[in-house]
Amino acid sequence: MKELELYLHIPFCRKKCRYCDFISFAGCEEMTDAYVDAVCREIQTTAGYYQDRKIVSVYIGGGTPSILSCGQIERLMQCLMSSFRISGFRAKRRGLYLQKKSLPEVEISIECNPESISHEKLKLYRRLGINRLSIGLQSTDDADLKMLGRVHDFNTFAAAFEAAREAGFSNINIDLMQAIPGQTLAAWKKVLFITGTFHPEHISAYSLMIEEGTVFEQLFREGRLDLPDEDTEREIYYYTRDFLEKAGYRRYEISNYSLPGYECRHNIGYWTRADYLGLGLHASSMINNVRWKNTDDLSKYIAGAGTEEREVLSRKEQMEEFMFLGLRLTDGVSRKEFFDLFKQDLDHTFEGVIPKLRSEGLLLSEGDQIRLTDRGMDVSNTVLAEFLLTS
Ligand code: SF4
């Protein structure tokens, strides 16, 4: 049976962070009920097309999914579980229960922010079969959190993390943000050290990007954002890798680290071009090399509007994506897999590029695998751009 990943978008947050350009709305709590109804409607009208697919992962992202009330998240999960073929689950009239003999093979993640986590919600998540939490921390320093426009402080995070462990979660990601305004290497070392004391199974450490339309972009344009210089940014980046590797985390993607066996299955699906179905506002899907996106207009979505953009990926685009996405993974890409998919030789397709990058020490070829070197990872944007095909 062919596999499928599901993504559900919850576009609500308590407050807009100053760097964020995601589709998320602050102060719209009164719309969450209608939104959950709209997502349930989309699930019910869509699921019929995918009954021949086995769902291998569900990712509830946002926004801040933990902002939903217990009743709302239960309604959403119940609808999802009773509509799709999700292994290890059966729907009951008054709730969802794991089938006793069959533990879920499926990874079900939910993104949470510390200020909206509660014991009650965590217990419910467990009962609903959610088996992975991704908590947005960003920094352990309260002054940083304030500057980023986050709602929570460090103590709120610490209490939320402890509550998650108490509730039985054994697969938790912590999101961190590096190279933020005013950050020194010494300050970042402290952030990483403190984060490490929680022993999460997974850490994502992305560098701050200045995105259009954000408060940070405005400050940047006015010259009022004190970003670390390039050398400090590099030092922070290398330190992250070295510190986390010494602590037992493996970097498996440019910005993602995990203890062995705790890599995020859902995200690996994106990087290996697995089929995924996105549900909710502005959610993207890619199935059988057709990509589409839902509307980004909240009122229209609630009123029942669906897909707005649809694109069939050409063979050239598929091959480029195979490389751009696959080379983000430290394991790289497989020549055999490329041949099985496209019936042509990878080295021949990217003739000239691979020997050039190898001679520059940016790429390694090891048997069937091609992967970026550490140096190649450092300059991945430039390296990956080399895989654009001209014809
Ligand atoms: S909590 Fe996340 S999605 Fe919401 S505004 Fe902040 S960064 Fe954006």
Q: In the listed set 223, 255, 271, which residue is the last one of a domain according to the structure?
A: 271
Ligand 1 centroid to Cα of residue 127, in Å, is 26
CATH number of the domain that residue 357 is part of: 1.10.10
**Residues 56, 179 within the same domain:** yes
pLDDT at 88: 59
Task: Please check whether residue 53 is in contact with residue 61, taking contact to mean a CB–CB distance below 8 angstroms.
Answer: no
Q: What average pLDDT does the chain have?
A: 94
**Residues 221, 115 within the same domain:** yes
Q: In the listed set 271, 298, 313, which residue is the last one of a domain according to the structure?
A: 271
Is residue 253 very low, low, confident or very high in pLDDT (cuts 50, 70, 90)?
very high
Residue 294 covered by a domain: no
The predicted model gives 365-377 an average pLDDT of 95
Q: Is the peptide bond between 63 and the residue preceding it cis, with omega within 30 degrees of 0?
A: yes
Ligand 1 centroid to Cα of residue 149, in Å, is 9
DSSP-derived 3-state class of residue 5: strand
Is residue 1 very low, low, confident or very high in pLDDT (cuts 50, 70, 90)?
confident
Residue 276 covered by a domain: no
Instruction: Report pLDDT digits (tens) over 49-84.
Output: 999 999 999 999 999 999 999 999 999 999 999 999
**Residues 263, 367 within the same domain:** no
pLDDT at 8: 98
Q: Distance (Å, rounded) from C-alpha 199 to C-alpha 326? A: 28
Ligand 1 centroid to Cα of residue 139, in Å, is 14
**Residues 157, 42 within the same domain:** yes
Top pLDDT among 178 and 95 is at 178
String of DSSP letters for 352-384: THHHHHHHTTSEEEETTEEEE-HHHHHTHHHHH
Q: Does 137 contact ligand 1 (Cβ within 6 A)?
A: no
φ and ψ at residue 163, rounded to 5 degrees: -65, -35
Residue 40 covered by a domain: yes
Task: Please check whether residue 64 is in contact with residue 16, taking contact to mean a CB–CB distance below 8 angstroms.
Answer: no
**Residues 16, 151 within the same domain:** yes
Is the pLDDT at 333 greater than 70? The verdict is yes
Ligand 1 pocket mutation pick from 20, 68, 145 by most atoms within 8 angstroms of CB: 20
Q: Does 183 contact ligand 1 (Cβ within 6 A)?
A: no
**Residues 203, 77 within the same domain:** yes
Quick one: CA torsion of 58, 62, 66, 68, rounded to 10 degrees? -100
Atom of ligand 1 nearest to the CA of 63: 3
pLDDT at 99: 46
Residue 35 covered by a domain: yes
Residue 80 covered by a domain: yes
Top pLDDT among 339 and 391 is at 339
CATH number of the domain that residue 122 is part of: 3.80.30.20
Longest dimension (CA), the chain: 62
Instruction: Report pLDDT digits (tens) over 191-232.
Output: 999 999 999 999 999 999 999 999 999 999 999 999 999 999
Provide the domain limits for residue 380: 327-391
Q: Distance (Å, rounded) from C-alpha 117 to C-alpha 135? A: 9
Is the pLDDT at 266 greater than 80? The verdict is yes
Residue 42 covered by a domain: yes
Ligand 1 pocket mutation pick from 12, 14, 17, 25 by most atoms within 8 angstroms of CB: 17
- The pTM assigned to this predicted structure is 0.94
**Residues 338, 193 within the same domain:** no
**Residues 263, 390 within the same domain:** no
- For the chain, what is the total number of helices (H) and then of strands (E)? 16, 19
The residue behind tokens 């939490």 is 133
Task: Please check whether residue 62 is in contact with residue 96, taking contact to mean a CB–CB distance below 8 angstroms.
Answer: no
Ligand 1 centroid to Cα of residue 269, in Å, is 23
Q: Tell me the β-bridge partners of 319.
A: none
Q: Distance (Å, rounded) from C-alpha 118 to C-alpha 173? A: 17
Q: Which residues contact 343 (CB under 8 A, 6 or more apart)?
A: none
**Residues 391, 254 within the same domain:** no
Q: In the listed set 271, 300, 315, which residue is the last one of a domain according to the structure?
A: 271
**Residues 192, 341 within the same domain:** no
DSSP 28: -
Residue 305 covered by a domain: no
Residue 309 covered by a domain: no
Taking the alpha carbons of 32, 33, 38, 43 in that order, is the dihedral positive or negative?
positive
Atom of ligand 1 nearest to the CA of 138: 7
**Residues 219, 367 within the same domain:** no
Q: Does 134 contact ligand 1 (Cβ within 6 A)?
A: no
Domain count for the chain, please give it: 2
Is residue 98 very low, low, confident or very high in pLDDT (cuts 50, 70, 90)?
very low
Q: Does 13 contact ligand 1 (Cβ within 6 A)?
A: yes
Looking at residue 83, its amino acid is S
**Residues 32, 159 within the same domain:** yes
Question: What's the token pair of residue 70?
Answer: 């217990």
Task: Please check whether residue 329 is in contact with residue 377, taking contact to mean a CB–CB distance below 8 angstroms.
Answer: no
In terms of phi and psi (left: phi > 0; alpha: psi -120 to 50; beta: otherwise), the region of 128 is: alpha
Question: What's the token pair of residue 293?
Answer: 């996106």
